[in-house]
């Protein structure tokens, strides 16, 4: 996990152009509070070996100047609360605008590194014009052109220089289980119930508890850290931002864990926000357990659970080999089963299958079902091995790896899942030349 850097600024100054230049992979975080759906982007970058996450808080609602202004205030507030450093972007083409001044006023009070990037400085004339941004009172500025990258190196040098060193929070090597989910799903209640003491104040208001706290926990003779993403109260006044924080916290907790316990509210289901978290965990190759909480609130008929489960699995496709536990924290129903399952998923994820055994099992299957010929060529898989990575990855060695298509990869994955236990664990399969 690295520092968080937020980019703020008026619409159209070039924030997303800059963002896209820098990041290797983009994750959208979608806010859907009060009927407003918008994208905020989050991605990873590094410069001179320093890793950081970049948030483009730029998504905004189309509307009047007032709406604009309110949005910018939120953006800045979010950045101030959440980021370790802020890049404030302005546009040399338009010069200093009243809104820039307003943002600068907010940022001058901030006790965090603020870097002023004057964008669209594509020529010498503009370089001269950029001088006027000194008037914002933020000191030195960085003239850049996001479209071609000029000047961005100096900006990034200064950025990583200014980033605070992160404390190493992971002193121990214990497995990390992150409890994630939307606000109000019951995460704090779940952790309280497990720990058996009122460490957190549980209330009905979404977003009263924020941040993440680790608790060392011992159960079934197995020691681990529970990472709570609903911890300390945030000071943000903006409801929308609270939802965003909770997702941001989940993102950080997920990146830093071994298994995600994804808690959802049975009365709300596996909705868009929950799906975002699920895919994030899946893409990060983390173990996953789905905990359907508040099961006590549902009217149940004979097949309710089965149907509910099937509906979730449809949404999870193609990665459906994930345990789903129906629990009620209120009634203390199946909460330990949840932990037991997480321990099992952790073990599945750390499983190392001996090459000999893997080949004994997989080669006959492959022989009975070889990859279909492609462009008249036959793919011959000779042997396979599990790679020494923290999460399961397999290499299958063959003559023509480029001819193995996705359906065959899925076939191999399904067989691996059938023959060995990888429940709750994303696996990666490579075909390599031999
Ligand atoms: P955002 O609303 O702040 O995210 O701005 P965008 O990244 O969408 O950019 C707005 C417009 O400015 C687009 O048409 C970009 O192509 C343009 N733009 C961005 N960076 C530069 C630059 O360095 N030079 C010039 N001339 N145009 C730029
Ligand atoms: P968090 O925001 O995810 O940490 O959610 P909380 O733990 O604060 O719980 C939100 C609300 O849901 C509180 O009022 C809890 O009492 C309630 N709650 C939690 N678990 C259950 C449950 O299993 N059943 C019912 N009926 N309510 C629950």
Does residue 415 register a pLDDT over 90? Answer: yes
The pLDDT of residue 82 is: 76
Q: Is the pTM of this model over 0.80?
A: no
Residue 293 CA to ligand 2 centre (angstroms): 8
The pLDDT of residue 289 is: 98
**Is residue 401 lining ligand 1, measured as CB closer than 6 Å?**
no
Does residue 68 register a pLDDT over 70? Answer: no
The pLDDT of residue 208 is: 35
Of the spans 60-69, 238-247, 374-383, which averages the highest pLDDT? 374-383
The pLDDT of residue 422 is: 97
Q: What does the H/E/C string look like for the chain?
A: CCEEEEEECCCCCCHHHHHHHHCCEEEEEEECCCCCCEEEEEEEEEECCEEEEEEECCCCCCCCHHHHHHHHHHHHHHHHHHCCEEEEEEECCCCCCHHHHHHHHHHHCCCCCEEEEEECCCCHHHHHHHHHHHHHCCCCEEECECCCCECHHHHHHHHHHHCCCCCCCCCCCCCEEEEEECCCCCHHHHHHHHHCCCCCCCCCCCCCCCECEEEEEEECCEEEEEEECECCCCCCCCHHHHHHHHHHHHHHHHHCCCEEEEEEECCCCCCHHHHHHHHHHHHCCCEEEEEEECHHHCCCCCCHHHHHHHHHHHHHCCCCCCCEEECECCCCECHHHHHHHHHHHHHHHHCCCCHHHHHHHHHHHHHHCCCCCECCECCCEEEEEECCCCCCEEEEEECCHHHCCHHHHHHHHHHHHHHCCCCCCCCEEEEEEC
**Is residue 192 lining ligand 1, measured as CB closer than 6 Å?**
no
More confident residue, 405 or 225: 405
If one residue of 179, 182, 183, 184 were mutated to test the ligand 2 pocket, choosing by the most ligand atoms within 8 A of its CB, it would be 184
CB 129 within 8 A of CB 90: no
**Is residue 273 lining ligand 2, measured as CB closer than 6 Å?**
no
Does residue 37 register a pLDDT over 90? Answer: no
The pLDDT of residue 42 is: 75
Neighbours of 402 (CB within 10 A): 11
The pLDDT of residue 242 is: 60
The pLDDT of residue 77 is: 80
**Is residue 202 lining ligand 2, measured as CB closer than 6 Å?**
yes
**Is residue 146 lining ligand 1, measured as CB closer than 6 Å?**
yes
**Is residue 193 lining ligand 2, measured as CB closer than 6 Å?**
no
**Is residue 207 lining ligand 2, measured as CB closer than 6 Å?**
no
Task: Please name the residue whose Cα sits nearest to atom 17 of ligand 2.
Answer: 186
The pLDDT of residue 70 is: 72
pLDDT tens digits for range 333-392: 999 999 999 999 999 999 999 999 999 999 999 999 999 988 888 999 999 999 999 899
Q: What does the H/E/C string look like for 341-368?
A: HHHHHHHHHHCCCCHHHHHHHHHHHHHH
Measured in degrees and rounded to the nearest 5, phi and psi for residue 397 equal: -95, 130
CA distance to 88, 114, 246, 261, 330, per residue, from 104 (Å): 8, 10, 27, 41, 48
Residue 35 banded pLDDT, cuts 50, 70, 90: very low
Question: Which residues carry a binding-site annotation for GTP?
Answer: 9-16, 56-60, 119-122, 181-188, 228-232, 293-296
The pLDDT of residue 27 is: 61
Does residue 282 register a pLDDT over 80? Answer: yes
**Is residue 9 lining ligand 2, measured as CB closer than 6 Å?**
no
**Is residue 176 lining ligand 2, measured as CB closer than 6 Å?**
no
The pLDDT of residue 428 is: 94
More confident residue, 229 or 387: 387
Residue 97 banded pLDDT, cuts 50, 70, 90: very high
Does residue 204 register a pLDDT over 80? Answer: no
Task: Please name the residue whose Cα sits nearest to atom 19 of ligand 2.
Answer: 186
Report d(CA 56, CA 127) in Å as an integer: 25
**Is residue 229 lining ligand 2, measured as CB closer than 6 Å?**
no
Per the prediction, the chain carries an average pLDDT of 84
Task: Please name the residue whose Cα sits nearest to atom 22 of ligand 2.
Answer: 294
Does residue 203 register a pLDDT over 50? Answer: no
The pLDDT of residue 231 is: 46
Residue 148 CA to ligand 1 centre (angstroms): 11
If one residue of 6, 7, 14, 93 were mutated to test the ligand 1 pocket, choosing by the most ligand atoms within 8 A of its CB, it would be 14
Does residue 419 register a pLDDT over 60? Answer: yes
The pLDDT of residue 173 is: 73
Strands 25-31 and 38-47: antiparallel
Residue 52 banded pLDDT, cuts 50, 70, 90: confident
Report d(CA 200, CA 154) in Å as an integer: 45
Residue 185 CA to ligand 2 centre (angstroms): 6
CB 226 within 8 A of CB 177: yes
Does residue 73 register a pLDDT over 80? Answer: no
């Amino acid at each position: 996990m690295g520092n968080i850097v937020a980019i703020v600024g008026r619409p159209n100054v070039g924030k997303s152009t800059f963002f896209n230049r820098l990041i290797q992979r983009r994750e959208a975080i979608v806010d859907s509070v009060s009927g407003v759906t918008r994208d905020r982007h989050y991605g990873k970058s590094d410069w001179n070996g320093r890793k950081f996450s970049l948030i483009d808080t730029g998504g905004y609602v189309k509307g009047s100047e007032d709406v604009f202004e309110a949005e910018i205030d939120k953006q800045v507030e979010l950045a101030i609360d959440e980021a370790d450093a802020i890049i404030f972007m302005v546009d040399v083409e338009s010069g200093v605008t009243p809104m820039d001044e307003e943002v600068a006023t907010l940022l001058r009070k901030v006790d965090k590194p603020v870097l002023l990037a004057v964008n669209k400085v594509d020529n010498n004339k503009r370089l001269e014009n950029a001088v006027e941004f000194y008037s914002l009172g933020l000191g030195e500025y960085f003239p850049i052109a996001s479209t071609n990258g000029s000047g961005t190196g100096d900006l990034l040098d200064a950025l990583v220089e200014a980033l605070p060193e992160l404390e190493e929070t992971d002193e121990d090597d214990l497995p990390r289980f992150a409890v994630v989910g939307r606000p109000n799903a019951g995460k704090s209640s779940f952790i309280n119930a497990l720990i058996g003491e009122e460490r957190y104040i549980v209330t009905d208001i979404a977003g009263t508890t924020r941040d993440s706290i680790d608790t060392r926990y011992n159960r079934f003779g197995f020691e681990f850290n529970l990472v709570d993403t609903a911890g300390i109260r945030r000071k943000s006044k903006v409801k929308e931002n609270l939802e965003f924080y909770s997702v941001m916290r989940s993102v950080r907790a997920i990146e830093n864990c071994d298994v995600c316990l994804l808690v959802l509210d049975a009365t709300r289901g596996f909705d868009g926000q929950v799906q975002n978290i699920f895919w994030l965990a899946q893409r990060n190759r983390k173990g996953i357990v789905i905990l359907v909480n508040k099961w006590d609130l549902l009217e149940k008929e004979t097949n309710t659970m089965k149907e509910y489960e099937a509906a979730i699995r449809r949404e999870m496709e193609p990665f459906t080999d994930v345990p789903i536990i129906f629990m009620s924290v209120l009634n203390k129903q199946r909460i330990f089963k949840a932990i037991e399952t997480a321990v099992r998923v952790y073990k599945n994820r750390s499983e190392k299958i001996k090459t000999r055994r893997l080949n004994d099992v997989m080669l006959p299957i492959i022989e009975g079902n070889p990859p279909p010929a492609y462009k008249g060529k036959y793919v011959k898989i000779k042997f396979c091995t599990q790679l020494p990575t923290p999460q399961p990855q397999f290499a299958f060695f063959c003559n023509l790896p480029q001819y193995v298509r996705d359906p065959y990869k899925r076939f191999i994955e399904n067989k691996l899942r059938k023959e060995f236990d990888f429940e709750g664990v994303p696996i990666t399969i490579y075909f390599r030349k031999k």
